[in-house]
Structure 1
Amino acid sequence: MTVGLVALALVLTGCSSDPLADQYREGSSKGFIAGDGSVTEIAASARGEAIDFTGIGENGETLASADYAGEVLVVNFWYASCAPCRAEAADLQKLNAQFEDNGASFLGVNVRDQAANAMAFNDTYGITYPSVLDVNDGGMQLAFSGSIPPNAVPTTLVLDKQGRVAARILGQVTSPSILETLIRDTVAEVS
């Protein structure tokens, strides 16, 4: 009986579809796992613990979760040679400018580049918000791995005023209005 249940479980597992695993198996050698743009919202009552992080920015400054206490934080995982990251950069910067001094801040997490490449990207795309350089230790990715992980690059997370993940866009932000709504809704939440 137990062997039959194990065999059935293996068969059923083989039938399920995992888009990220499928992308890997296709062998396209993209060099990255692309998200599908799916949006996940988490009800306030179902959010996990606050994310605690510290990292070094591209200008050598220390950036920490405590710096953003009491405000909504939009965290974007990216790297300079990522085509979807380049495609969404202008939209993210526009939203950053829109929400600056209006209840939300933006923070990038560069997962592959050193400071010079990150700063060149910022200059090219007019990015004014800081980024943590996560290439050497992966500390930022690790900090977020327990709640709703950034499984693809780019991934954009919206953290609530308590520092908990409220929403995730897995892949390129193709509709800035959706991200804008996620930010507005999170800013409007009563603490």
Structure 2
Amino acid sequence: MKVPFGSRPAPHRSTARIGALVLTAALALSGCAANDPLAQQAGAGGGQNYVAGDGSVSEYGAESRGEPVRFSSELYDGSVVNSRDWTGQVTVLNFWYAACPPCRAEAEDLQALYEKYKDDGVMFYGVNVRDPEATAAAFERNFGITYPSFDDRDGEVLFAMTQYVPPQAVPTTVVLDQQGRVASRIIGLAEKSTLDALIADAVAGK
């Protein structure tokens, strides 16, 4: 059930986490830049056909979260996934595409967090907004990504998430609570320790 855009729940911002993000995101990005020249563009976005987020973190208190996210869509392997099946599990959605510099910069951290939390039942899904299967698969091989991605070139998942994911604001990472509601969101490069804390809070039922 879609919640009207104007009735979006007001986010609770964690100033401590945002302060840490400002300090550490640049360090994380500079480390990645040595291995991947495209990552050097992640702080700008101008002329690169994406909107560079500032890494802002929004947390939504349990009492102010909207309705559970609802959609059904295909992964690149053709499997159909329905968000209703996620009830009882924390789910992380990362919106990305292969040529997006900050997506490349955060990829290995996302994989590391997936490995950390998969035994706790946390599910990770990429939501690729642009690439054909071969391009997405090459990215996943390059960065060692083992969790699946939706082929969202038709915008089905993005449309279901428009009240939380601004169009073209890629990357954006969303953490859903055990009821399938948006618990937190990062627009822009997801700094590892910040996302780690957001996932841990969701697992703990916060």
TM-score range relative to shorter protein: 0.7 to 0.9
Give the total of aligned pairs.
Answer: 162
- In the alignment, which of 133, 136, 139 is matched to residue 121 of structure 1? 139
Structure 2 Cα separation of the partners of residues 27 and 155 of structure 1: 14
Partner of 1:105: 123
Partner of 1:149: 165
**How many Å apart are 1:145 and its aligned residue?**
1.3
**How many Å apart are 1:120 and its aligned residue?**
1.0
Identity within the alignment, %: 51
Partner of 1:183: 199
Matched, 1:168 2:168: no
**How many Å apart are 1:28 and its aligned residue?**
3.2
In structure 1, give the amino acid aligned to 2:205.
Answer: E
TM-score normalised to structure 2 length: 0.75
Q: Is the 8 A contact 1:107 1:130 kept in 2?
A: yes
SS across alignment from 1:109: strand
Between structure 1 and structure 2, the one with the greater Rg is 1
Structure 1 Cα separation of the partners of residues 147 and 139 of structure 2: 12
Q: Where do 5+ consecutive residues of structure 2 fail to align?
A: 1-43
Partner of 2:152: 134
Q: Is the 8 A contact 2:128 2:152 kept in 1?
A: yes
**How many Å apart are 1:68 and its aligned residue?**
1.9
**How many Å apart are 1:66 and its aligned residue?**
2.6
In structure 1, give the amino acid aligned to 2:202.
Answer: T
In structure 1, give the amino acid aligned to 2:54.
Answer: D
Deviations 1:53-101 (A, max 9, x none): 1111111111221332210000000000111001100000000000002
Partner of 2:12: none
Matched, 1:85 2:103: yes
Partner of 2:176: 159
Structure 1 Cα separation of the partners of residues 104 and 81 of structure 2: 23
Structure 2 Cα separation of the partners of residues 126 and 108 of structure 1: 13
SS across alignment from 2:120: coil
**How many Å apart are 1:27 and its aligned residue?**
9.7
TM-score normalised to structure 1 length: 0.81
After TM superposition, the structure 1 = structure 2 runs for residues 3-22 of structure 1, keeping only pairs within 5 Å, are none
Structure 1 Cα separation of the partners of residues 182 and 88 of structure 2: 14
